[in-house]
Amino acid sequence: MSDIKNWNDRYQTGETPWDTGRPSSELQRVVLDRKIRPCRALELGCGTGTNCVWLAQQAFEVTGLDLAPLAIQKAEEQARDAGVSARFLAADVLRPPELGEPFAFFFDRGCYHAIRREHPYEYAKVVASLLAPGALDWF
């Protein structure tokens, strides 16, 4: 519970230097250069949803997960303001809820960075369990 509070507090105070309000240039480059067709896409650690909104604008069916409920609330507002459809869930990425069919594309801008020292193997197992065979991951 303290992790949720800590992350939520960061979004409450605006102490989120990773949240530039612009989609990741790496994400844009990969999607556009590799000509990745719209598909079911997942972002773990989606924060305020900027990357998910960009993917939705490219016609992807997007789901974003983040531990901080306040980040998810802001992500939903951002998607609504942009006029796109995206699903956002407040959840622990190491214990995700049932998300339906596997995802064909996966993106992580900073979630792994935050948990890699304590849970790298658990993270890899979760990601593998959520992806369709042949899925493209980028993190």
What residue spans define the domains of the chain? 2-11+40-138
Indicate yes or no: pTM above 0.85: yes
Please give the CATH architecture assigned to the domain spanning 2-11+40-138.
3-Layer(aba) Sandwich (3.40)
| Cα(138)–Cα(27) distance, integer angstroms | 8
d(CA 132, CA 32): 21
Q: What is the pLDDT of residues 32-67, one digit of tens each?
A: 999 999 999 999 999 999 999 999 999 999 999 999
Structure confidence at residue 74 (pLDDT):
95
CA-nearest of 70, 65, 57 to 7 is 70
What are 35's two structure tokens? 């000509």
Give tens-digit pLDDT for 70-104: 999 999 999 999 999 999 999 998 999 999 999 99
Cα separation, 23 vs 46, whole angstroms: 11
Scan for tokens 């844009």, then name that residue: 28
Helix spans in the chain (H): 2-13, 25-33, 50-57, 69-82, 111-115, 120-130
